[in-house]
Amino acid sequence: MLKDRHILLTGAARGLGAEIARSLAGHGARLIVADIAEDEGRATALEVGAEFLPVDLADPASIAALGAAVSELTHGALHGLVNNGAIATGIGGIPFDQIEIDSWDLVHRVNVRGTWLMTRACAPMLRASGSGRVVNVASDTALWGAPNLLSYTASKGAVMAMTRSLSRELGPDRVGITAVAPGILTTPSTDYVPEARHRLYSEGRAVPGPQAPGEITDVIAFLLSEGALTLTGQTLPVNNGFVFK
């Protein structure tokens, strides 16, 4: 499905990102993975036969440098960008009136501004490929209003809003952009989440039980394909029917 398509994936060092890397490589993509965690990121790249490049999504200069390096590797034509890298763990279970300002700011710097700047850095390359696709990894917590997670849910709500607005700015060049909204997955990042929240999902899903990251990666692969342009601007919950949109 993705044969010979150059794809850049952020946050591929572990968890869902590493699983997406395995899937995209399996679908034939020519993959570049980027992460702030260099050792783990290089290990993922080695495993799937991808290139690794470092990036700090909180740092505009680092994102610009990644864009330049990707342009060199792809000769200026990129078919796909997956904005998966994010602050996604250790920020839940905190009431809205107890979140530290610095923590809120970091979540938004990485999850929101990082997604914008990464997309901006790649836009010329996505246009040049003739069939550029962006997939933003959001979260269904922003759809059902998960409590005690406000900095994160607000950031993922912003990602969905950016997906809609960017679809109109990128669409004239036939660049498609979508978001996926997973529920809670069986990744190490959710080990700290209380059992009650895991149970809420397990019992509330149309397909009951836990959900592994590998269960959503084929959808992401499809969204990066040429045929997915028709879905541009949409957010797809990929949560085995926990919340509908």
Ligand X SMILES: NC(=O)c1ccc[n+]([C@@H]2O[C@H](COP(=O)([O-])OP(=O)(O)OC[C@H]3O[C@@H](n4cnc5c(N)ncnc54)[C@H](O)[C@@H]3O)[C@@H](O)[C@H]2O)c1
Looking at the annotation, which residues are catalytic?
Answer: 152
Q: Which of 2, 31, 50, 58 binds ligand X (CB under 6 A)?
A: 58
Which listed residue (2, 35, 149, 176) binds ligand X by CB under 6 A?
35
> Is residue 11 part of the contact set for ligand X (CB under 6 A)?
yes
Q: Enumerate the β-bridge partners of residue 188.
A: none
How far apart CA 99 and CA 91 sit, in angstroms, is 9
Give the Cα separation of 110 and 121 in Å (integer).
15
Q: Rule CB under 6 A: choose which of 25, 36, 70, 125 binds ligand X.
A: 36
Q: Which of 2, 7, 8, 16 binds ligand X (CB under 6 A)?
A: 16
Tell me, what amino acid is at 23? Answer: S
Mark 212-231 with x for binding to ligand X (rule: CB under 6 A) and - for no binding. Answer: --------------------
Nearer Cβ to ligand X (16/131): 16
For residue 83, which phi and psi values (nearest 5 degrees)?
Answer: -85, 85
State the binding string over 170-209 for ligand X (x if CB under 6 A, else -): ------------x-xx-xxxx-------------------
Residues that bind ligand X (CB under 6 A): 10-11, 13-17, 35-37, 55-58, 84-89, 110, 137, 139, 182, 184-185, 187-190
